[in-house]
Structure 1
């Protein structure tokens, strides 16, 4: 069985006080609805062998947020391996985006489990801008490395 791979875009913007904020999304569906810590993610998704990771990152951004991926320099933040074994590759892009404009993509699953009822849920139920320090505890643990790599690229811990 081939290894599962995901790719995503981490948007960042500079704040008036010289800091940095990142745009992350709260994972949708019943498993995440009552959680906040470690329940947020970089907008990302899986891709197959016929698609480049960077193309997948742009496509998944649009699918998950319902907005086109912003243009701009793509800063490679590398890969991480999540607890589920999936490898995630992320690029940072400096851009601004109004979270209120998001129209989330959806997925279908049986809920409640064993009920035979299929329900549709948003892939991300909300997105928001957070400082790097605010975002760290919210992100799933493996993705926190992307914040550290972005901060190092921008020149410091709180960048």
Structure 2
């Protein structure tokens, strides 16, 4: 069974169409910038409603509640089946506080360390977002343009 993930792509229209992305936390992404940013999202089980999971994950990864009104952007299948909604809103990217995950680091050291799921967030215009967002999530930017 494929792994399921759901998220919310927050956007604003001023001064131009921009999206909020989170830089993936942890040692694997620490020195990467291009294609190292993500829509706030997370995994869920097959028995959990995808929209409910998207709302929970948005809150966990940004520290802010998910917006009420969501517009479905559909599904992209890759290593995970990712379902995303868009929501118009504004959020102070500097104030984003993410939940954490535990990882053995360095590998095979026996030491467990905690890392934020998102170590920082920022607003990007669509051209810049195309260079920042992980490649598997790029279709959602085009879908946003079609719906926004």
Aligned to 1:157: none
Aligned to 1:6: 5
Aligned to 1:87: 81
Q: Does 1:140 align with 2:127?
A: no
Q: CA offset at residue 152 of structure 1?
A: 1.5
In 1, distance between residues paired with 2:88 and 2:147? 12
Q: Does 1:49 align with 2:46?
A: yes
Match of 2:147, SS state, is: helix
TM-score (normalizing by structure 2): 0.96
Please give the root-mean-square deviation of Cα atoms over the aligned residues, in Å. 0.9
Aligned to 2:27: 30
Match of 2:52, SS state, is: helix
Q: How many residues are aligned here? A: 148
What 5-or-longer segments of structure 1 have no aligned partner?
A: 155-159
In 1, distance between residues paired with 2:138 and 2:2? 22
Moved over 3 A (4+): none
Aligned to 2:73: 77
Q: CA offset at residue 66 of structure 1?
A: 1.6
In 2, distance between residues paired with 1:24 and 1:30? 18
In 2, distance between residues paired with 1:39 and 1:105? 18
